[in-house]
Structure 1
Amino acid sequence: MKSQLALRPVYLTRPERVKAHISVCVLAYLLRNTIELLIQKSNQAMTANDVLQKLESCQLNEVGFKNQQASR
């Protein structure tokens, strides 16, 4: 998994941080595999890296009303 995600060594000692790090790595791995499967199914001439590079340019804007609490 480390080679697929190009991870470097991370030294964590707290159990909750280790679990969080592993969870993020597994989610990233599953997301990348899902992207690759969807590309294959759609017969697109691109790679998962191409998709991820395009997604880097996406921006999220949040619009709300004055005196309205965020729905987080």
Structure 2
Amino acid sequence: MKYIMVAIWSAIFGEILGYIVSQLTLGTYNYIGVAVIAIVVGEVALVAIPAISGSAAPKEISSEQ
């Protein structure tokens, strides 16, 4: 369920950001391309951030040495 919600919110925020950037740069606005890129980035972040943060956590050292 969280993957679906991340995809939906990524698409919404991506569309907003894509529209603003296209208006500021006077470029064309492609809503399908923006949505696909935003969803891919959101899903990659959903998987990568916990993996990176988990590997950065300090390891517990056993006191029975």
Q: With the length of structure 1 as denominator, give the TM-score of the two structures.
A: 0.38
By percentage of residues, which structure has more helix?
2
User: Which is higher, the Rg of structure 1 or of structure 2?
Assistant: 2
Larger RCO: 1 or 2 (CA < 8 Å, sep 6+): 2
